[in-house]
Chains A and B, each alone.
Chain A
Amino acid sequence: MITFGEIINNVHQGLTDALPAWLAATIEYVIIGAGFLGLYCVLALILILLERKICARFQCRIGPNRVGPWGLFQSVADMVKILLKEIISINNTDKVLFKTAMFLAIAGSFCTFGALQFGDGLACIDFNVGLFYILAISSLGVVGILLAGWSSNNKYTLIGAMRSGAQLISYELSAGIAIMTMVVLAGSLNISDIIAGQSKAWFIFQAPIPALIAFIIYLIAGHAETNRGPFDLPEAESELTAGYHTEYSGIQFGFFYLAEYLNMFIIAGVAATVFLGGWQPFQINAEWAEGFNSVMAYIPSWIWFMGKTFALVLLSLWVRWTFPRLRIDQLLKLEWKILMPISLVNLLIMAGWVLIF
């Protein structure tokens, strides 16, 4: 079977043979950038349609059903519409920051997206502190949200931004500690090493008790970081109209919208990579399961990654449309009094687990 790594190597070889090194490198960067941008947008369209369909199911509706079969092209139509919409410029805003904020929000999301590994050999950014990079670069988005809220010069947006900032900073801690717990098990921050370490059994099966606790904590904290229900206080529509992006219109709003949906995908992707083996197939580490293992390994790696990620995305949608919104004090209590202590103790359990087994 031809792997992505071979295709990429062949293309790289062909380009470097035919062209000078700097031109070949530039062309490669442009291809990779365009590819990632395309994937980013297509995933956003799929996620938006998925969300609307599933939300409709939860509310006993049908959801989009007019554009194309089963409403499949609804989000394409919406995309065209949002691109054509007028961008309304507002007086009395801090114009520079207002325009910068949306790019920061989407750049933070896109930079994190680039660090995911979509399949065997389908990795863009892969260096020895990959996981740390993912945690670090996502801070761009927080700055974007805070600036958007403030520069709009509107009380609703400011309150939304403050809530969002408090929420992101708080939940970043337990998400980071949950990831660190798994780094203790993996012994590396390199994403390729982490995935390679799960070729026999996924980390969640290698250390069932601490890994499962960390997995649940990461899912809760990650879900809170995406600003989606039940943690959607930053844009609580019944209280704050639309939170920090109230004043944005047209594609400017689209940027925040896109970043929000892709952040959901990224959180699910990171969880799939760190806990569920990334693109590694499901393997049973026993002699009787050889046939089963080879069947599982025959399924392409990118299907494994996408399957796991979308399963976690569905979980996130399920949570969003099931639970009522938390109050701000409940939100902070959940993080500081429940998740933080558990994740710190869990880190110790994991360290003990690694030392003993």
Chain B
Amino acid sequence: MLEELGTNDQGDMIINVGPQHPSTHGVLHLVITLHGETVKKVEPHLGYIHRSIEKMSESLSYRQFSYVTSRMDYLSSHINNHACALAVEKGLQLEIPGRAQYIRVILDELTRIASHQLWWGALAMDLGAFTPFFYSFREREMINEVMEETCGARLTMNYIVPGGVMFDLHPDFQKKVKIFLAEFKSKIHEYNELVTGNIIFQNRTKGVGYISKENAISYGMTGPSGRGSGFKCDVRKLHPYELYDQLKFEEITEEGGDAFARYMVRIREMEQSMNIIEQLIDNIPEGDFQAKTKAVLKLPKGDFYSRVETARGELGVYIVSEGGTTPYRIKYRSPGFSNLSALNDLAVGGKLGDLMATMGTLDLVIPDIDR
């Protein structure tokens, strides 16, 4: 590849962005063909942090393998663990206690809010606004403290295990979550005033990085990125797991298909997540937080596929079991991977400066793509 860098015979300039670049949020390497300032082609080069999690998982037991998935999409580690637990529970045909279901859903939604907060701050910083980053980290810290007390970790939780959750909630959990909700309600308004309504921000995101609904489906773009193009792909609605079929919440879609539409989906989703937590936080039932399981889990022969909605889209865990104590083959269908595959389509024809807005609103997390 290196000898091709420079210019090609049509006078187009070929430049590298990354693997170490602030706007790629991790080690993503893009080779961009530019005609003047117009993007003609974007080619992602992956693998800088490929750890072969799928191969590793083949020699880990059904209790162990979910721990490495916290290192995939590290901003949704709870939800990744949840997907693994669901796949194993599907294989064992295990019913999990109500208390564990409530805890799982509340923590999933807190994770989603925390992830969107970080995305919001980082996107604004990509576009040259520095203040939002501090605003979002201020509120995110409150969620991290709740997580730390209950799970013992701030990033790689490993709290959701097959059969339920690992420990019971911290006594202060409900109180602190309620304080957070009350605080953050007013803060979303602040977010909107600071960034959403800002004319510079709107000019830089409206009409940028457009993708149609048909293409979004064809590329498998899910999560807020897909819903920004009007693709109804929320797994919580389509294939409800845990309590989601009993909860009242709205699936947010926008029709714009551009960077601003994807932005609005995430902002509005934070409100829906708070809504979900409010429905659950006072009603957590008493009882066990973990179902009784054997010390060594053995899945029957067959295929088990679980789908969950992470902060970035649809995560699929596909376990092929041969009846042993370790999976025969595991595939993680990560949302970031499919969303990235659409990047070329989104960026072509736009300007180089707009690429940052396009990539920022795809909300890429590179370890999720590389696995």
Whether chain B is bound by chain A comes out as no
Which chain B residues have a beta carbon within 8 Å of chain A's beta carbons?
Answer: none
